[in-house]
Structure 1
Amino acid sequence: MTPRDRNIWEEKIADLRRYDLDELDVRPVDASSLTSWPIPDMTFVRIDGVLRSWDIEREKNQQQNQPQQGQDQDPSKPPKRMYLSEDALTGLHSQKANLAFLVLGSKTGVKYYMGVQIPGDGTNGDGESSKMVSYDSLKSIMHSVYNGVDIASEPFDSEQLQEQVAPLARHCGLVTGIPALKSTAGDTIESEQIERLANGLQGHDFGFLVLAIPIPNHKVSKEEFLIVDQIQRAQENEDPEKKRRIKYYLELQDSYLKHIQLGTAVGMWLTGVYFFAADRSVFVRLQSLIRATYVDETSRPTPLRTHEIKGLGPHIQQFGLLRNKRSDEIFQELLEYKFLSPLSSRTLSAFVHLPKREMPGFRIRRSAEFSLAPIPPKDPTRTIAIGNILDRGMDTGNLYHIDVDALQKHTIVCGVTGGGKTNTCFYLLGQLWNYKIPFMVIEPAKSEYRHMMLMSETFKGVGQAFSLGDETVSPFRLNPFEIMKGVKVQTHLDALKSVFNASFEMYSPMPQVLEKALNEIYNVRGWDLVNNTNRRLPPGMMPGDPDCPSEIYPTMKDLYEIIDPVVESFGYSERIGPDVQAALKARIGSLLIGGKGQMLNTRRSIPPEALFKRPTVIELKMVSEDSEKSFLMGMLLVFLYEYREALGPHDNLQHVMLIEEAHRLLKNVPTAQSGDSANPAGKAVEFFTNMLAEIRSYGQGFIIADQIPNKLAPEALKNTNLKVMHRIVAVDDRDSMGGAMNLDDIQKRHATALGQGRALVYAEKMEQPFHLQIVFDKTKEVPPPETPAESDQVVRDAMKGLDIVGKFDRHLGCNFCLHRCDAAILDTAIPVADDPLFRQVYNRYVLSTLKDLTQLVHFRAQIIHEIQRVIGGRARSGNITGITWCVLTQATERYFERKGEENYWFYDQVREQHLRWLNLLKPAFQPTEVN
């Protein structure tokens, strides 16, 4: 039916249904007749992703193939709200913003751009450009609607995007009419309309552009009154021949009225929609996808149409709205433009929204809800910050603080490698020192903390770092058998036993033999284990006194040498006895090799005051065996506990110990003991976990850092107040931490998606954990040296003033030595001093010389000959003097120690005899002055 043949009602129906657009199929548009309004000064943002809450129930339903009930649209009613973008469009409409939404597909993925141009004088009154005003407004609205939306850091202008559009705008078309808001929530795989469009052309080059300008509210209201008036007139018409047409017209007008009424509430837009592609086949597919995605029975009163039009390219490239007016009769003022459609913010959201599912070029980040309102600290002047509070991934600008003294109740920091665990620990330690609270870091595998301790302005001049087992960098001295003043020897023995059992694999009867051996070495040194006294100390002197001789303490070598006689005393069979001897001596002997021997086989430890009153780092990476690392960590923990216990209880935080890879010591092993077998490892772990629970009363806090919380003893999780969980992937680890942090299933799942430097934090009195961003960056604070050699030199230079080797002599004779603890000399000398035949020769030499001093020089050649016999070709040229003196120093100490034990000499008497003999030897074997 041509327009001439239509009656008035048919004309009105044609106006609402836009039958004039159907003529484009037979009479194409002349490209030269197209005119457009370019939208000026557009500012675009690229949207790279959004945040989406974990919806476990929906995923379960999809996995079980049980679709949820979808949203059924009633054609006679306004479309239901479906997309969050409706809120953004409503907000932009209120600002009278001109809008562009651009989707660009390529082989690598799909990119989404949103652009606006907010009318004004070019500035916001503060001198800020209109570009930045538009950028900030758009970001603000997008963040309010899509919490956690990922927007590119820099805005784009129209020219930048026109360069990307131009190559694609070879085959172009436009969309007219009202799109349907179609839900796929009833399907097993839910998807949004825009992502169905993008998924259908994934890997192809295409474009989809939506341009919209706000229609003033007064025009929309005028259209509303006009429709009401037209409906009333139609209802008053009683022409029976046109009754069916009038009824259809009224149905269309009713749909249009609801469309306009919705627009008066949420905003109305004059909209132009383009689609384009460089390849003809892609363009055809895009056109069919648009119709499949946006057409259904709810596209009323104007159905959605797609049109291929030649000559659209230049208009698309300049973001122009076609302003060609209709040539046929119109009855609705908002339908005056041939290629533009009046759409409410709700219907426009069918075109302008973001995907719900991830695709190449668009990232979906998952989120969960966490606490946002922290409990105020008790003392606001004495707090440390943990990080910035996040709300669904976005920084709220509020810091989460915790009372400094809350760290007295211990902390655990966990997370996989690269999650930010060490960075968090750096941040906590730096703030602790602001309150002059010292700490110790035990670092088993890396050397990350040394740079903070020795190079940062915060710790320069007070921090110290020790490289355990590496005598060439920063030597350390620790005698596990030394007892602090105020500590009972039996208590220390029990702790020693627990450290050995926790560190080394012990099978029955090794723990029983070890326990007896530990008791024996103290008995030999004159200790009364019941009364906590030493019978070989002079009257009036007590263990731990400043002038107490170091000889009262056993050494690791003493323990090694006493194993054989102790095993023999048990009377084991020929099969069991040697096995026990070999196993125990292998474990203890490993602690006497190389740098470990120089560190542990010593009389005196570095004083606890020197270790626990300054920021200190203990590095264990040069100790390769895990069991040996565990032993050293355990001994440091024991000494700390004894030191704090001796100082007494304290209400405020006095010291913090940070243990990296704490599972080496606090292992997750059964602590129960059956009636048939012993469980030394379990009992040892129980000893340390009990120590953690008790030590807090002395003002001591612990920070336990570990990658795998499931490897930790459960008590280590339970007995910590502050819990900081960085990214964790494994289900069992998330369950372990989640149970201790009151996490629900969604929050536990979110732990797998935490970005670097982000963490879930929980402490006492919380109902829910916080999601935080740690604001500290350790690499900016202290850039590490470029090479390990440079790093070692930094430590060496910083620590040389302590002179550990000079101050902590292994033997009394070291005071006369020109080669203090030269590793090559020491390693060569030890086997000689331990050689049974050499011991016999040297003992005879001492006895004969003490009877006749002329024998001192007479038998000198024989002593040197015996030394050379044992070492063979191992002596380096020019070092025989150093080796000889080192051998004599060790052999002399052993000789006079045995004499003192046999004759019950006081230690000052032994020392007097020992020093007298060294002065006799010196001229013959070491012609130097005493230092």
Structure 2
Amino acid sequence: MFSSWVVSVSVYGIISAIDSSNKLRLKWNVGENKLHNQKIPFSAQNIDPTKTYHFSTDHISYLEKGFVDDLDGTIDASQLEIKTFENVRILKIIGLTDFWKINANQKKTIHGLMSYLLSGLHEGNIPVLFGISGRPDNIEIFMGTFGSDVSRVEGNIITLKKTLNAFFEGISIKMQQFDDFNNLIKEFKQSGIVVSSPSYSGKISNQSPLDVTPQSKKNLELMGSSTEIDELLRGMYGENFCYLIYAIPVSNKEITAYNNMILKELRFLQESMLSHSATQNIRSPLGQTYEELLNNYLRSIKTAKRTGLWNSSIFLFTQSPETMNNLKAISKAVFGSNRTMNDRVQTLSLTGKLTKNGLIMNPPPTSPGQLQHPYAYMNTLNSNDLGVFINLPSQEMPGFSIKPYGRFKVSKQDTDDINITIGEILDRREKTHNCYKIPVGNLNKHGLIVGTTGSGKTNTLFFLLKDLWKKNKIPFLVIEPAKTEYRSLLFSEELKNDLKVFTLGDENTFPFRINPFEILDGVTVQTHIDLLKSVFNASFYMWGPLPHVLEQCLHEIYIDRGWNLASNTNRLGLHNGANPTLTDLYNKVDDVVDKLGYGKETTMEIKGSLKTRIDSMRIGGKGLMLDTRRTMPFETFLNKPTILELESLGDDDEKCFVMGLILTRMYEYYISKGTTEKVDLKHITVIEEAHRLLGTSQNDNPYVGNTRGKSVETFTNILAEIRAYGEGILISEQIPTKLAPDILKNTNLKIMHRIVAEDDRKAMSATMNILEQEALMVTTFSPGYAAVYSEGDTGAYYVKVPYSKIKATSSENKDYLIKNAMLDPIQDKKTLAPYEGCAKYCSNICQYKNLGRNVSRKRLFLPKIPYLILAMLDDAPSLPEILAQMAESGREEGELSKNAVGIGICALVHGLEYFFDQVSLRYQWSFEDREKIQSILLDFTIEMLKEYHKDPQQFSYESLDQEKMKEFNEYYQQICTGKQPTNLCGKICTENTCLYRYYLSKMLNDEEYKRRSIQLFDENDHLQWKQFYQKMIRELILPDISDDLIQKLGLCCILQTGFSKDISPLKIKILIENIIADYPDSTPDEENLI
């Protein structure tokens, strides 16, 4: 080791800033991405000419980050000061073309392109995130950006994507959720960091990283331009690991400041060394070494002035310590071997759990000299050096493809049929002035249009749909799961007066209504249940017993509604009320699962799984659309060009569910109209992103049924059968291999736009008679260009589809035009209303639905409805108080909406709909009776609600509408006649009526009542029974009802409790008779004795 040496020197104009410790310090503010120099105005007076400056090996050790060695290879994760970022957007990089082979004469390498890409991102001040996720069977590569401003991050990710496409020819990219990648990281148990500052090409020079010498060109051709990332991936092949980099640009101003700082440090050192050699007549080896290091840094910073400088944090993640040791060793070998480094490649294992990732902000230790590192564990790298760590593989790996770069048929014979044009045939990208045409009638054999995003699929469909309507008047239906591109057809001359647009789940433009459970005439209930089951299984992941439980629930909700599944009849009448709803299905889950006898944990899991899926479709706009009794007439969609936009449905499973409902509804509609033979093309349906519904499904477990695969098979069979009715299906898909194989095989017209993935090309090529070299060309297709194949062709044609999209207009104008175009498409306004009472009582349907629903579910609203009815039947004095409590339940929501009456009406419609829906099924009322009794009570309660809000202080018994109360009581008793479940009921209610059975649940479920009732049955003391139920009824039900009603309610409770506890009917009869006998003027009804 060198001994320390001392130099006394007088220095002028060397150091730009000196703090109290005579240390020049640099500090980066990552939040604003700025470098702050704490500058003191320089003058000769800043430096003491007589001061003695010390240099030692500590200076060299510090500059080489020797303080990392002191950690002995480990550091506690909790000691890292990590700055995280909420807004992160990433791209998954799926593959490349081997462009470096083609472009070798153009002096291009992967590393050079990545360095240039990073240089460009630096100029745009765009932070970079790079990650590799390795698994035993594949790798995933991600690149993205981050920051605090979400709008800027969104713009930056677009810039990054475009830049990648610009620099890496044929790169295949897709957007990825960062949470998916972040969750992968959290699974790892071991973590580490890399501290390094490498220099590319073996020595620091001013040569461009894109420059290729004759020897390096030969090496590239032999080695395939292998990158350090290739070596890292080969070394970690088959292991679970993750490699992650956060990098943030350093501003040009900061780079200049850093450059000047090193220059001044060098000047000071050199003058110090000159002074030392003058006195000692020797040149210090220590000073020379320090000078070489500073010169290396200076050359690196000069390169950074051209290419950009970055602060970066590099993380390593694995599952086991052994794998972490492998990853650390390989990282050092790959990034540090055979390279002159400013800093050595150093790796540290982290002890403890690393709970977050981002930029490591730990400050460095104090420097012994004038130059101080900005951060302890962050790496300051120019774009060339950072391009070593951030790069793409040049060799194919599982999960990352390297595709090669690559004449179609040109003579197409026209037919005498009515034809539709697809586009102009090209020969080697040159026009032939001939068009590719097919007979219009062939479209009922279906078509498949595939291609990556932006390849021209939508433009092709625009062109076909406009031509079909303009020349042939063939209507169409477009099911658009994402985006809202097709609505721009409203601006086309061909469609502007005829097109209808429905915004599914969006109530602000033009809403849509479809009841999944509605039965069409001519379709059996069992057929509909089977199709509906397929929709559920194709849309949602159904584990274990869920499909069977769901099927049981579906059967029971139809049985509850009066349907006989064998005879396809309904004993309660054919009415909208005969159609179940999603709410019925939701409520049925508990009953069915409880009866199946699963264990407690399994029962809870099944209930939670099913109810969560169902309930998600009952809220907001989805609930208005799906949780309804009525479906819009399907003729509305089949007689005119129509677009169904599903963009407002954010969940892919729910989009798939709605798409399945529409397809099955169309199929059932045609069935209801009757089978026909040899029907010409009558209608076209376009299904965008069909993989959601018609996706491929594999089941690797032979012991578990493939319910999704079976459901997809059902829908592919529907497509095969529906052509007999004159229906043609055009399927648009980005990734054809996501589709079920039958879709690829059984579609006649195939249009393949640009496809990058090899498996997709092969799948399509196999069904289009495309040769291998032709398939390779598909990856280079520009938007609007496609390979086209149909019946009778011996091969595919290279076709350019005319541009047919509509000039964009602001979304506000589009919505306005949609509303104008949809002035009155549905004559029956009840179709848009979720309940029967909405159209009658609500001036603006569903304006307050969410608030009204919330009020109706409150403790003083829905549970009060049974007591309201009991009070009306008994003419109880507490009736005004019950009405007032229900009205006051919506006070908070009324103040919020400035319309307390409107909220109250909505709550009453909600509450009474739900209440009578349950009660009517128990009483087995006909749907007409249920509708009438509900309407009478709604008239009464809404009138009383308005009366109450006029003057709450004056609302009293005299305010009640006695005529309405009388009408309700009479009709209620009428429809309750003949409903007594046992002969003993005649001891309680006269004239064979059953008035109270379903209104006593609160008392029957009360813990005190259940406990005491068992004791009383054992004691068989009718007087204690009488005292007990009188007390409970006044406390739990109504305090001021008549003694006669208390007696009837009490006896009804005894009767229900006795039968539920398997008490002897004779014992129950005697108990009831004894209680009745204890009341004055009571005589037994001999006709009802058992």
Normalised TM-score (structure 1):
0.56
Q: What's 2:866 paired with?
A: 843
Whether the 8 Å CA contact 2:419–2:438 is kept in 1: the answer is: yes
Report if the CA contact (8 A) 2:512-2:832 is conserved.
no
Structure 2 Cα separation of the partners of residues 669 and 902 of structure 1:
42
Selected match of 1:406 from 433, 438, 442: 442
Structure 1 equivalent of residue 853 of structure 2: 830
Corresponding residue of 2:621: 595
Give the one of 499, 513, 517 matched to 2:535.
Answer: 499
1:532 is aligned to: 568
Question: Is the 8 Å Cα contact of residues 636 and 825 (structure 2) preserved in structure 1?
Answer: no
Q: CA deviation at 1:584?
A: 0.8
Contact persistence 2:851–2:893 (CA under 8 A): no
Per the alignment, residue 656 of structure 2 pairs with: 630
Q: Does 1:447 align with 2:471?
A: no
Partner SS, residue 454 of structure 2 = coil
Write the mapping of 1:704-783 to structure 2, written as runs, cut at 5 A: 704-778=731-805, 782-783=806-807
CA distance in 2, matches of 1:417, 1:752: 13
Asked if structure 1 preserves the Cα contact closer than 8 Å seen for 2:631 and 2:831, the reply is no
1:838 Cα offset (Å): 3.5
SS at match of 1:795: helix
Cα distance in structure 2, aligned partners of 1:477 and 1:907: 21
**2:761–2:775: 8 Å Cα contact kept in structure 1?**
yes
Q: Would the alpha carbon gap of residues 505 and 875 (structure 1) be closer, same or farther in structure 2, given more than 3 Å must change?
A: farther
Superposed CA offset, 1:87-120 (max 9, x none): xxxxxxxxxxxxxxxxxxxxxxxxxxxxxxxxxx
The answer to whether the 8 A contact 1:477-1:604 is kept is yes
Does residue 573 (structure 1) correspond to residue 599 (structure 2)? The answer is yes
1:809 aligns with 2:809: no
- For structure 1, list consecutive stretches of 5 or more residues without a partner in the other structure: 1-55, 63-186, 190-365, 538-547
Which residues of 2 match residues 591-670 of structure 1 at below 5 A?
A: 591-647=617-673, 648-651=675-678, 652-670=680-698
What is the distance in 2 between the residues matched to 1:393 and 1:837? 74
Q: Deviations over 1:176-198 (max 9, x none)?
A: xxxxxxxxxxx999xxxxxxxxx
2: distance between equivalents of 1:607 and 1:853?
46
Q: How does 1:212-361 map to 2 (within 5 A)?
A: none
2:587 is aligned to: 561
Q: Which amino acid aligns with 2:618?
A: L
Displacement of 1:683 after TM fit? 1.0
Q: How big is the shift at 1:842?
A: 1.3
Match of 2:6 in 1: none
User: 2:997 corresponds to which residue?
Assistant: none
Q: State the secondary structure of the residue aligned to 1:640.
A: helix
Which of residues 888, 910, 913 is equivalent to 2:933? 913
Match of 1:894 among 902, 914, 920: 914
SS in 2 for 1:479: coil
Secondary structure at 2:750's aligned position in 1? strand
After alignment, is 683-692 or 720-729 more displaced?
Answer: 683-692
Q: Deviations over 1:587-626 (max 9, x none)?
A: 1111011110111111111101111111100101111000
Cα offset for 1:727? 1.1
- Matched residue type, 2:845: C
Instruction: Report the counterpart of residue 479 of structure 1 in structure 2.
Output: 515
Report the counterpart of residue 269 of structure 1 in structure 2: none
Contact 1:817 1:882 in 2 (8 A): no
- d(CA) in 2 for partners of 1:707, 1:874: 48
Secondary structure in 1 matching 2:814: helix
Give the one of 792, 795, 800 matched to 2:818. Answer: 795
Does the aligned pair in 2 maintain the 1:368–1:392 contact within 8 Å? Answer: no
1-side partners of 2:749 and 2:889: how far apart? 62
Residue aligning to 1:420: 456
CA contact (8 A) 1:805 1:821 kept: no
Are residues 1:864 and 2:891 paired?
no
Q: In the aligned structure 2, how far is the partner of 1:760 from the partner of 1:875? A: 62
Say how many residue pairs are matched.
549
Q: Deviations over 1:41-93 (max 9, x none)?
A: xxxxxxxxxxxxxxx9xx99x9xxxxxxxxxxxxxxxxxxxxxxxxxxxxxxx
Aligned counterpart, 1:31: none
Pick closer, same or farther for the CA change 1:593–1:653 going to 2, 3 Å: same
Which residue number in structure 1 is paired with residue 410 of structure 2?
Answer: 372
- The CA distance in 2 between the partners of 1:716 and 1:851, in whole Å, is 66
Aligned AA (2:613): R
Corresponding residue of 1:43: none
Is the 8 Å Cα contact of residues 659 and 702 (structure 1) preserved in structure 2? Answer: yes
Distance in 2, matches of 1:476 and 1:418, equals 29
SS state of the match for residue 665, structure 1? helix
Tell me the CA shift for residue 819 of structure 1: 4.7
CA contact (8 A) 1:727 1:753 kept: yes
Q: 2:410 touches 2:797 (CA, 8 Å); kept in 1?
A: yes
Contact 1:692 1:719 in 2 (8 A): no
Aligned-pair CA distance for 1:661: 0.7
Aligned CA distance change for structure 1 residues 473 and 725 (closer, same or farther; 3 Å): same
Deviation at 1:673, TM superposition (A): 8.4
Cα gap change, 1:852/1:736 in structure 2, threshold over 3 Å: closer, same or farther? same
SS of 1:701 mapped into structure 2: strand
How much has 1:827 moved relative to structure 2? 1.0
**Identity level (%):** 40
Question: Are the structure 2 counterparts of residues 836 and 859 from structure 1 closer, same or farther at C-alpha, using a change threshold of 3 Å?
Answer: closer
Question: In the superposition, relative to structure 1, how do residues 628 and 816 fare at CA in structure 2: closer, same or farther (>3 Å)?
Answer: same
SS for the counterpart of 2:434 is strand
Q: Encode CA deviations 1:222-273: one digit per residue, 9 max, x unaligned.
A: xxxxxxxxxxxxxxxxxxxxxxxxxxxxxxxxxxxxxxxxxxxxxxxxxxxx
What SS is found at the alignment partner of 2:478? Answer: strand
CA contact (8 A) 1:443 1:659 kept: yes
Q: Contact 2:562–2:571 at 8 Å: present in 1 too?
A: yes
Indicate if the aligned counterparts of 1:856 and 1:921 stay in contact, CA closer than 8 A.
Answer: no
Q: Find the counterpart in structure 2 of residue 462 from structure 1.
A: 498
Q: Please give the residue correspondences for 1:424-439 in structure 2 after superposition, counting only pairs within 5 Å.
A: 424-433=460-469, 434-439=471-476
Pairing 1:14-29 to 2, within 5 Å after superposition? none
- Higher Cα Rg, which structure: 1
Paired with 1:774 and 1:850, the residues of 2 have a C-alpha distance of 73
Is the contact made by 2:839 and 2:845 (CA closer than 8 Å) also made in structure 1?
no
Counterpart secondary structure, 2:765: helix
**Taking structure 1 as reference, are residues 853 and 422 closer, same or farther at Cα in structure 2, changes over 3 Å only?**
farther
User: Could you tell me how far 1:775 is from its partner in structure 2?
Assistant: 2.0
Partners of 1:835 and 1:577 lie apart in 2 by: 28
Deviation at 1:627, TM superposition (A): 0.4
**Does 409-418 or 828-837 show the bigger shift?**
828-837
Out of 371, 376, 384, which is 2:420 matched to?
384
CA distance in 2, matches of 1:837, 1:687: 47
Give the distance between the partners of 2:775 and 2:576, measured in 1 at CA: 54
Distance 1:807 1:427, change over 3 A: same
Whole-angstrom CA distance in 2 between matches of 1:576 and 1:797: 52
Contact kept in structure 1, 2:632 and 2:831, CA below 8 Å = no
Change beyond 3 A, Cα 1:418–1:622: same
CA–CA distance in structure 2, aligned partners of residues 756 and 822 of structure 1: 43
Q: What is the alpha-carbon distance in structure 1 between the residues aligned to residue 792 and residue 688 of structure 2?
A: 27
Aligned with 1:859: secondary structure? helix
Tell me if the contact between 1:526 and 1:552 (Cα under 8 Å) persists in the aligned partners: yes
How far apart are the structure 2 equivalents of 1:874 and 1:675?
57
CA 716–892 in structure 1, closer or farther in 2 if over 3 Å, else same? same
Q: CA RMSD in A?
A: 2.7
Q: Which amino acid aligns with 1:412?
A: L
